[in-house]
Amino acid sequence: MDLFHNTLQIEEESLSLSTLASMRSLIINPSTPQSTITSILQKLIRSLELSHDKVLLHYSLNLLTHLAIHHSSFSHFVFQSVCSHSLLSAQSTRLAVDSLQVLALITERVPDPGLNTDKLDDGFFVSLCFGPSVSARLWLLNNAGHFQLRPSLLFTVFLGFTNDPYPYVRKASLDGLVDLIHHGIFEDSSLVDVCYHRAVQLLGDMEDCVRSCAIRVVASWGLMLAASNADMKSYWSNEVFAKLCSMARDMSMEVRVEAFTALGKVEIVSEDFLLQTLSKRVLEVGKKKEVFGQNTTEQFKMLAASVAGALVHGLEDEFFQVRKSACLSLQRLAVLSTEFAHEALNILMDVLNDDSVVVRLQALKTMYYMAISGCLKVQEKHLHMFLGVLADNSREVRYSARKILKQVKLNSLLLFKSTIDGLLHSLSIYPQDEADVFPAVSHIGWNHKKFVAIVSKEVFEEVEAAFEGNSEFDSARVAALLILCISASLAHVNVGTIPPVLFSYAVTLLGRISSAFIDVMERDALLAYLSDKSRSIDCFASNINHGGGEKQLPLVQGDYSYCASNDVTSLVETSHKIDVEFEIQPQFVREPKDVLNSQVEQRPVHDEVIKFTDLTLSKVPDVWSLIQSGFTSEALKILRSWKEDLASMRSDFAGSADALAFTLQYLQIIKHLAKIWGNFPQEKLICSRATGALDFELAKLDRKVEEFRIRFIGFSPQEELNVLELMLVTCVLRLCEADICCRILTLKRLTATFSQVEHLLKESSVAPSTFIAELRKLLPEGVTSINEASQSPLEFGKCLKLFCLKHFIYSGTIRHVRAELSIVNNDFEHPLPFVSGLPVGIECDITLHNIASDHRLWLSMTMNDDGPSQYVFMDWKLLEGSGEERNFAFVAPFYGTPKASSFKLKVRIGLKCSFDDAVLGQTCEGPGLGLAFLCPDKEVYLSNVLKTKSHYHQ
Amino acid sequence: MAIECLVLGAGQEVGKSCVVVTINGKRIMFDCGMHMGYLDHRRYPDFSRISKLGDFDNALTCIIITHFHLDHVGALPYFTEVCGFHGPVYMTYPTKALAPLMLEDYRKVMVDRRGEEEQFTSDHIAECMKKVVAVDLRQTVHVDEDLQIRAYYAGHVIGAAMFYVKVGDAEMVYTGDYNMTPDRHLGAAQIDRLRLDLVITESTYATTIRDSRYSREREFLKAVHKCVSNGGKVLIPTFALGRAQELCILLDDYWERTNLKVPIYFSAGLTIQANMYYKMLISWTSQKIKDSYSTHNAFDFKHVHNFERSMINDPGPCVLFATPGMISGGFSLEVFKRWAPSEKNLVTLPGYCVAGTIGHKLMSGKPTKIDLDQDTQIDVRCQVHQLAFSPHTDSKGIMDLIKFLSPKHVILVHGEKPKMATLKEKIHSELGIQCYYPANNETVCIPSCHYVKAGASDIFIKRCQNPNFKFQKCSSSGAPGTSIQSCQNPDRSLTPRLQVKDERVAEGILVLEKSERAKVVHQEELLHRVGEKRHHIRFAYCCPVRVSDSTDISSKSDRDSCLQLLHSKLSCELSGGNIQNFGENLQMDSFHISVCPKDYCPYRIHETSHSETLAMYFCCFWEAIDEKLAWRILSAMENLDLREI
């Protein structure tokens, strides 16, 4: 140490590299005394001030970084000195950037609120960027995010440097542009336009790295351009899609991977473009172009060549990374069009022959997602490949294939038989798979009861032969066959076709079989069921009516649609209706929860939620057909259990929480609708019926639909139409009641809503549903006076019959408008003080989610449950916070403090429905009628100051 | 400067590829193939067109061979040994290894079997190979000072390459045969983005667009699997190199995945020898094989065994690869004779079979009996599966490659004339690239870039170091919000209104002086360098303005007062601007007005309009930038009347 001090003294004048090296070892040595560190620090700082040697300065700065990081007590000082000495008075850009690097590192590693890089203002940044040092420029562009710079400035700088002769600078500026998109919305669409086109030019850059970055910019900015351009959205989306497709044939693997990743991000593409990606030949245009009109056709002609076969090329690429990425983008795109999904499946089946396991797995995963989104249509020509996968020698591949089989709906007996054969064959090759094959068999049996009924005779013969010892006893195969039959019988298919003796055979294999039903019922329950079934041998013929025994069975929650209320005769009569029901049922089975599976795939929770909500939503039309055919109670049962299931799901992830709320609300509406529908005999009017209950129900429905419309934002035109159609139905339902009092008002609302529908239809050029078309006939244009609209309820009733619930696809853009309200420092034991007659301020802590800028929020305060209400308008836009979530404190004044020692206030946040005002022409002060409440009531306790004082005196 | 292309073979035909390119004084022969369809002089390219005297050593700089197929290398020993060329021959390592095998095999067939006159001997082949310089992928070879060549991966067959050639500033690529989609054992063609004057590309499938190879593979596997699972035997007649390995990898992989235990056999012979080469040439295969090479060599087939002749009649299912590919004789015919009568068995055929072979007969219709010769008749009951794998790129692949390379000119060779014409049109209309498809012995001349080396001044270089970009408004764009329907040219409407321009280039000026090298200087230096003063262009007009009759034009005081008067009038008239009065003259931006005392002013236009009234002349000067302003002022002055106050 002394030696070092000597060195310091000797080399007082200037530092040498070796001195710096020994300093470094002292700095990183934790046992170096503080005093030495201090002297080193001073020495270094002095050299910063005095030295002119660029190399030495570079190293000194480097050492200072080390010093600040290893000895955090000095970090503040180092930061300040570098700031004052080196940064601003630097002799070269390179050194200035070196110092910046030091500052950035220190702020990154040493969290100290006292450190800030205010020195780096916009002008300084730009001047450094424009310096001659390329590496400095590169560093600045790469690290621009560390400094607080105006986005508009960054945009200009980044955009400008996309023209730099150095490829890495171009790449860095493109990267910057991609990041910039997260920082704010660029309202000037011409800027977005420029940026997008610059990136499109760079798609032809000589350097691979620039091209792949350009793809990211094209995707992100292009989609933003599409989003900012409402009337040309589809045009721009197609344009971006085509540009990305054209990169699918790039020579660089990284670029291709990037291109396919970006393709998956496109959310709207016309079907022609999608189909074209699957064909290398340029397709003919003009099959069903009316939807998008002339524009798309012309655009398609122009761009088809670059789109042609993009996905096919991706799937047959030399590099598995590209093939995998192409599979993944296919998965995302498949939901956009059913026809595309069907076409894509043909190619995807061939990918199962890929030599890379990773790609095969991704292809299967894609198919699985297609299956759960209902667009997987397996055909006979696919069988060879698909069943081949069941015999694949990779365990993961086999597992994934079976996972699809659990979901898939086979539409012919041949398919069904071959699938079962394939499964049993794979079981014989890989006996170790039994634990997963059996549940797959049970799912298939469950999903295809009719087919099971057809094959049950053969199965019975084979099983019987095996048990009688007439043929070789292959226990796994027999068990699988038994599982097939039992699963079908669990779903209450006509049990007559399955001989009861099968159940008694099953009992002997209970241990193995029960594993297949592990997610449906417990082993004991299965045993009870089996023995019950096998006991019925005696009364086989008369066993058709199985009412009593069934109810003891601890059936799963999923088994909702058991038609307890219908006797067998009605079952037979309405068998076609029941089919619908059968189709719904199997999907309720929860995912198998065995350990084996969970190892293979662990999906994040929110994904599960979205999947489940999607599934539920997709089944809604089926429920509707139940409702229409008069199975109201069944439908209600199903809805209720869905709601229970949904309610039991928890989700922290914002997107899935929205999906959950959305689905719940939607189901609630359908529930009300179902109730009303059940009370509405379609043919005759209900004049005589006591309308009280119905009115009540209608009002509920009305409110729910209204709320639905308001509390969710981000509907696509099609979704918006669905919601509006629900509103129309509500109005029409009301009008069908002949003797309602508010007929005029309802008609007004009907016409107003209908005009919105018309407007939407015109804008989005979607074909109207039959219901809307029929309603249009009833409402001649320009109906303003009610006398004109003299349609009888009967006609509205006819119209109503045409209504059918559509499949509501939750697109992910829908957001739940909600709020959280808490009152600061208040509960029953700690009331707020007030002076009667004087206003009192109530401190609320409010968090708003997904509130759009045109929303008007009111705070409603109701005294003592049923007392008078007071509304306070909240101009939340003036308050800070931004984005989807805003949190702020708000002091709400309450004026009408009563002459009481204490009272209670109910505070809620309400969202104004602008709709009602327009229709009803209300001009009263305050929010008026239509307030949709965004949060549950919050109770505030207040207590009179005088009373409190006296309390204290005592 | 021009690049001159003499097509000696494969012009508007498939066969004997040979193109001689003269580029900046260097003469390179690409490929030296033979035509398999002819036995007369048409078999070889007409070499006399290179040099009438046969002095090939001086006429040619070098020969480049793209791959080992006979239609690309077949005439090489003849040309080097018989015609006499002693210059270097360039080809890739695998081509150098496999080409002599092919040549020797061909020579044997020709001489030993058909008894033809020998064109070249085994010694010729060996001697020829001594002249070969092997190159590696992406290795830049300096043939001489000016000529650089570089090989790029082409797919097609093992060792196939595209060649990039650069002489001075002229750059071109000769593709040879290539494949843009990978297959089971070879990757897709790979090349950099280059600045090319010319691309010479094959166009075998100039109009065909092929489906995904996946479906073909699936059909093949399905047929084979079905056959063997029913206990049948599968005969796969193939050529030794390429296809056999591809199918074998496919089957081996499938066997592995689906746990099939049925044996796969290779008949002894060239195929096994070829497998050995493949095992060594791993770096020339597809990415997948390269990736897995460290753990398992894909050409070490797990399920493949050698076939003994005695096994032909063994019972039970099996798969057999046998040569030759079209069942024209040899072992594959022997096996076919035994296996054809059983309907359980399967024969797969390649996509193309020469007329006269059994393969051809099987393909045309479904014969039940085939007459082998007068005495032998084969009873054909087996199933026949046709394989349509091709190692050539399809028309989309050609387009994709050309689009990626974006050369200035394209020449098509190795294709059929009508199809080439269609492709040429497509390249011209869709990519806007000049395209030619010369016939044999035709020459195409295309211009090439000529670069001038220029020095740069220090100031210019210094200025260039600092970036200097500007955003420029694009004038051609329509009004904002123009919808697409209304625009005639949608492309134009899509160009953004703002564009980024680099000013640095604009600030440079190229100076070319006699007997000196060209030099780029910064615009600020120019005047100093040329020794000239900066000139400003000024416009002048001597404008008459009516004045009162009492004014004495020659009196200075009157002139001054007129100027004052003019100033105040103009100030009123031109409300927007600020005209400054400097006593002697008036000024607004670059616009000067002063009273013209001369009787005859060169800027005066004599008109008769003011003849009855007295007019005073004011000389006006202005610069080009203020043209609009000048017109405003002048038109105001013309209408002024200084008589009124």
End-to-end Cα distance, chain B: 74
For residues B577-581, average pLDDT: 77
Q: B115 and chain A: CB distance < 8 Å anywhere?
A: no
User: What rounded mean pLDDT belongs to chain B?
Assistant: 83
For residues A746-762, average pLDDT: 80
**B438, B441, B451, B439: which is closest to B409 by C-alpha?**
B438
CB contact at 8 A, A199 and A217: yes
pLDDT value, residue A914: 58
Examine residue A367 and state whether it is found in any structural domain, yes or no. Answer: no
Of the candidate ranges A485-489, A918-922, A924-928, B340-344, the one whose mean pLDDT is the lowest = A918-922
B104 is annotated as an active-site residue? no
Distance CA B135, CA B145 (A): 18
Distance CA A789, CA B457 (A): 87
Q: Which residues, in sequence order, are CB contacts of B167 under 8 Å at separation 6+?
A: B23, B24, B25, B26, B146, B147, B148
pLDDT value, residue B444: 94
Examine residue A696 and state whether it is found in any structural domain, yes or no. Answer: yes
- CATH number, domain containing residue A874: 2.60.40.10
CB contact at 8 A, B175 and B275: no
The ipTM estimated for the assembled molecules is 0.78
Q: Is B468 exposed, middle or buried (0-12, 13-18, 19+ CB in 10 A)?
A: middle
Going by pLDDT thresholds of 50, 70 and 90, the confidence category of residue B176 is very high
Residue A289 has pLDDT above 60, yes or no: no
Q: Is A197 in contact with B495 (Cβ distance < 8 A)?
A: yes
For residues B235-260, average pLDDT: 84
Residue B416 has pLDDT above 80, yes or no: yes
Q: How far is B485 from chain A (nearest CA, A)?
A: 7
Cα distances (angstroms) measured from residue A488 to each of A424, A493, A517, A566? 17, 6, 12, 20
H-type alpha helices, A71-150: 75-81, 93-109, 122-129, 134-142
Q: How far is B149 from chain A (nearest CA, A)?
A: 20
Question: What single-letter amino acid sits at A341?
Answer: A
Q: What are the phi and psi torsion angles at A511 (to 5°)?
A: -55, -45
Q: Is B469 in contact with A160 (Cβ distance < 8 A)?
A: yes
Among candidates B213, B468, B485 on the partner chain, residue whose Cβ is nearest the Cβ of A295: B485
**A881, A879, A882: which is closest to A890 by C-alpha?**
A879
**Which chain B residues touch A350 with a CB distance below 8 Å?**
212, 214-215, 217-218
Distance CA B603, CA B599 (A): 11
Going by pLDDT thresholds of 50, 70 and 90, the confidence category of residue A88 is low
Residue A614 has pLDDT above 80, yes or no: no
A591 and A614 inside one domain: no
pLDDT value, residue B151: 96
**B489, B415, B350, B6: which is closest to B207 by C-alpha?**
B415
- pLDDT tens-place string over residues A290-312: 455 566 777 777 788 888 889 99
**Which chain A residues touch B467 with a CB distance below 8 Å?**
129-130, 137, 160-161, 164
Q: B484 and chain A: CB distance < 8 Å anywhere?
A: yes
Distance CA A521, CA A533 (A): 16
Q: A130 and chain B: CB distance < 8 Å anywhere?
A: yes
Q: What are the phi and psi torsion angles at A950 (to 5°)?
A: -60, -35
Residue A540 has pLDDT above 50, yes or no: no
Domain boundary residue, one of A540, A573, A595: A595
Going by pLDDT thresholds of 50, 70 and 90, the confidence category of residue A568 is very low
- pLDDT tens-place string over residues A334-376: 988 888 998 899 889 888 888 888 999 999 999 999 888 888 8
**pTM of structure:** 0.67
Provide the domain count of chain A: 3
Q: Is A194 in contact with B499 (Cβ distance < 8 A)?
A: yes
Residue B95 has pLDDT above 90, yes or no: yes
- pLDDT tens-place string over residues B588-604: 878 888 888 777 788 88
Examine residue A253 and state whether it is found in any structural domain, yes or no. Answer: no
**A45, A127, A70, A144: which is closest to A93 by C-alpha?**
A127
Which comes out higher in pLDDT, residue B139 or A805?
A: B139
- pLDDT tens-place string over residues A622-673: 777 777 777 777 788 788 878 877 777 765 566 677 778 888 888 888 888 8
Task: Kindly identify which residue of chain A lies nearest to residue B465, measuring between CA atoms.
Answer: A132
Judged by CB atoms within 8 Å, which residues 193-252 of B form the interface with A?
193, 209-215, 217-218, 221-222, 225
Pairs across A and B, CB distance < 8 A: 131
Examine residue A371 and state whether it is found in any structural domain, yes or no. Answer: no
Q: Which residues, in sequence order, are CB contacts of B633 under 8 Å at separation 6+?
A: B570, B574, B588, B591, B593, B620
Examine residue A350 and state whether it is found in any structural domain, yes or no. Answer: no
Q: Is A313 in contact with B498 (Cβ distance < 8 A)?
A: no
Examine residue A560 and state whether it is found in any structural domain, yes or no. Answer: yes
For residues B433-456, average pLDDT: 87
Question: What single-letter amino acid sits at A500?
Answer: P
Handedness of CA B316, B322, B327, B329 (dihedral sign): negative
- pLDDT tens-place string over residues B473-509: 654 433 333 333 333 334 444 455 567 777 776 677 8
Residue B202 has pLDDT above 70, yes or no: yes
Distance CA A164, CA A171 (A): 10
Q: What are the phi and psi torsion angles at B541 (to 5°)?
A: -155, 135
A432 and A539 inside one domain: yes
A526 and A645 inside one domain: no
Q: What angle do CA B266, B271, B272 make, to 5 degrees?
A: 75
The number of CA neighbours under 13 Å toward the Cβ of A373 is 21
Going by pLDDT thresholds of 50, 70 and 90, the confidence category of residue A681 is low
Q: Is A302 in contact with B490 (Cβ distance < 8 A)?
A: yes
Phi-psi region of B414 (alpha: psi -120 to 50; beta: other; left: phi over 0): left
Going by pLDDT thresholds of 50, 70 and 90, the confidence category of residue A596 is very low
Residue A902 has pLDDT above 90, yes or no: no
Going by pLDDT thresholds of 50, 70 and 90, the confidence category of residue A746 is confident
DSSP B414: S
pLDDT value, residue B481: 39
Of B171, B202, B217, B246, the catalytic one is B202
For residues A758-779, average pLDDT: 77
A508 and A643 inside one domain: no
Distance CA B472, CA B490 (A): 21
List own/partner pairs for B353-357 with CB under 8 A and 24 or more apart: B353/B325, B353/B326, B354/B326, B354/B328, B356/B328, B357/B326, B357/B327, B357/B328
pLDDT value, residue B233: 92
The number of CA neighbours under 13 Å toward the Cβ of B427 is 33
Report helix, strand or coil for A859. strand
Write b or e for each residue in A16-48: b if 16 or more Cβ atoms lie within 10 A of its Cβ, otherwise e.
eeebbeebbebbeeeebeeebbebbbebbbebb
Distance CA A810, CA A658 (A): 10
Percent of chain B surpassing pLDDT 70: 91
Read off the tokens for A326: 């192409």
Distance CA A835, CA A503 (A): 78
Report helix, strand or coil for A33. coil
The residues facing B520 across adjacent strands are B456, B510
Going by pLDDT thresholds of 50, 70 and 90, the confidence category of residue A120 is low
The number of CA neighbours under 13 Å toward the Cβ of B414 is 27
H-type alpha helices, B539-611: 556-573
Q: Is B400 in contact with A249 (Cβ distance < 8 A)?
A: yes
For residues A542-567, average pLDDT: 36
Going by pLDDT thresholds of 50, 70 and 90, the confidence category of residue B188 is very high
Examine residue A370 and state whether it is found in any structural domain, yes or no. Answer: no
**A843, A839, A790: which is closest to A821 by C-alpha?**
A843
Residue A262 has pLDDT above 90, yes or no: yes
Residue A733 has pLDDT above 70, yes or no: yes
Distance CA A238, CA A219 (A): 11
**B475, B495, B468, B480: which is closest to A194 by C-alpha?**
B495
User: What rounded mean pLDDT belongs to chain A?
Assistant: 76
pLDDT value, residue A794: 66
Q: B259 and chain A: CB distance < 8 Å anywhere?
A: yes
- pLDDT tens-place string over residues A218-228: 999 998 888 88
Residue A3 has pLDDT above 60, yes or no: no
CB contact at 8 A, A325 and A351: no
**Which chain B residues touch A298 with a CB distance below 8 Å?**
490
Residue A174 has pLDDT above 90, yes or no: yes
A531 and A401 inside one domain: yes
pLDDT value, residue A590: 37
Distance CA A350, CA A719 (A): 35
Among candidates B184, B221, B257 on the partner chain, residue whose Cβ is nearest the Cβ of A392: B257
A671 and A723 inside one domain: yes
Read off the tokens for B484: 């697409």
Handedness of CA A546, A551, A553, A556 (dihedral sign): positive
Examine residue A735 and state whether it is found in any structural domain, yes or no. Answer: yes
Q: Can you tell me which residue has the tokens 């290795």?
A: B139
Distance CA A502, CA B55 (A): 94
Q: B190 and chain A: CB distance < 8 Å anywhere?
A: yes
A574 and A430 inside one domain: yes
Residue A583 has pLDDT above 50, yes or no: no
Q: Is B497 in contact with A194 (Cβ distance < 8 A)?
A: yes
Q: How far is A806 from chain B (nearest CA, A)?
A: 34
Percent of chain B surpassing pLDDT 90: 30
pLDDT value, residue A169: 92
For residues A205-225, average pLDDT: 91
A781 and A662 inside one domain: yes
- For residue B545, the tally of other CB atoms under 10 A from its CB is 22
Which comes out higher in pLDDT, residue A266 or B353?
A: A266
Q: Is B218 in contact with A320 (Cβ distance < 8 A)?
A: no
A784 and A924 inside one domain: no
Going by pLDDT thresholds of 50, 70 and 90, the confidence category of residue A709 is confident
pLDDT value, residue B644: 58
Element of type H or E holding A815: strand A815-816
Among candidates A164, A194, A204 on the partner chain, residue whose Cβ is nearest the Cβ of B498: A194
- pLDDT tens-place string over residues A316-338: 899 999 999 999 999 989 988 88
Distance CA B355, CA B506 (A): 65
3-state secondary structure A632-670: HHHHHHHHHHHHHHHHHCCCCCHHHHHHHHHHHHHHHHH
Distance CA A899, CA A457 (A): 83
Domain boundary residue, one of A765, A800, A835: A800
Q: How far is B496 from chain A (nearest CA, A)?
A: 5
**A250, A240, A238: which is closest to A275 by C-alpha?**
A238
| Length of chain B (residues) | 645
Distance CA A310, CA A260 (A): 9
A432 and A559 inside one domain: yes
Domain limits at A944? 817-953
Q: Is A251 in contact with B404 (Cβ distance < 8 A)?
A: yes
pLDDT value, residue A693: 67
A795 and A835 inside one domain: no
Percent of chain A surpassing pLDDT 90: 9
Residue A539 has pLDDT above 50, yes or no: no
**A706, A720, A714, A704: which is closest to A670 by C-alpha?**
A704
For residues A265-280, average pLDDT: 88
A587 and A612 inside one domain: no
- pLDDT tens-place string over residues A31-68: 888 888 888 888 888 887 777 777 888 888 888 888 88
